Amino acid sequence: MSSLLWPVATGAIILAALLVGRTMVRVSHTRDIVLEEVRRRLRGGVIERLPRRGPQARGRLGDIEVTVDLYRDPQRPDLSPLWRVMAVGPVRVANPVEVHIGGWRGWIDPWMQMATTLPVPDGAGPHLVLHGEQPLALDHPVLAALRRQGHMLGAGGLHVQSDFMRAEIRFDRRTEGNRGLFGYLQAMSEIAGRIPGHASIRALRVEHMHQEEDRA
């Protein structure tokens, strides 16, 4: 019997390795396509390949400097890989706030676990769980931006503090399943920007048009 089990076990190992390899190729393919689209939307956007981290898109989105990469968190293998967005620039909030959207689990800033779970004002858009020091009004920059992008947002988390933001968003192996990443990018641009809503979306499109003209 043992002589028969060896070929079966070997075949199972080879099949598992093929499936893992196929999954990794699919993940890398989707990652590269999405990062290239992110690069195109950023002013001065570039793709950088960093040791041990792989490729990341970097550039400016309005007044903030943004980096986007696909991140694997060994502490949260059930959520990995996930999109990680970090933004540095003029973020005008008095107190830090962390928002979990669509049932997102895990903390971007572990210290926020000590903060209060805040009530969400009526009409605040997608299902949000707020954590912060003080209740937020409906016109707070974070809530207002998330409301405007509500139809675009998928499961993810957003941490906002003075001059810094970080978002984590669910990754989908299907390219079209990652539209939520661009909803978070736009929300972060609006939180940091001076022109809210559709005006900032228009500004982003104008910047993209200028980039295309420059390349032409």
pLDDT in tens, 178-190: 999 999 999 999 9
Tell me phi and psi for residue 7, to 5 degrees.
Answer: -60, -35
Digit-coded pLDDT (tens) for 85-105: 999 998 888 899 999 998 898
Q: What gap in Å lies between CA 42 and CA 27, rounded to an integer? A: 23
Model confidence band, residue 19 (pLDDT cutoffs 50, 70, 90) = very low
Two tokens, residue 163: 């001059």
User: What's 150's DSSP letter?
Assistant: T
Neighbours of 127 (CB within 10 A): 14
Mean pLDDT, residues 38-66: 92
- b or e along 79-106 (b: 16 or more beta carbons within 10 Å of the residue's beta carbon)? bebbbbbbbebebebeebbbbbbbebee
Q: Which strands form 156-161's sheet, in the order they lie side by side?
A: 43-50, 54-61, 64-71, 82-88, 164-170, 156-161, 97-101, 128-132, 116-118
Residue 40 has pLDDT above 50, yes or no: yes
pLDDT at 6: 52
> Cα–chain-centroid distance for residue 126?
16
> At 165, which amino acid appears?
M
pLDDT at 107: 92
Q: Could you give the 3-state DSSP secondary structure of residue 83? A: strand
Domain locations along the chain = 2-215
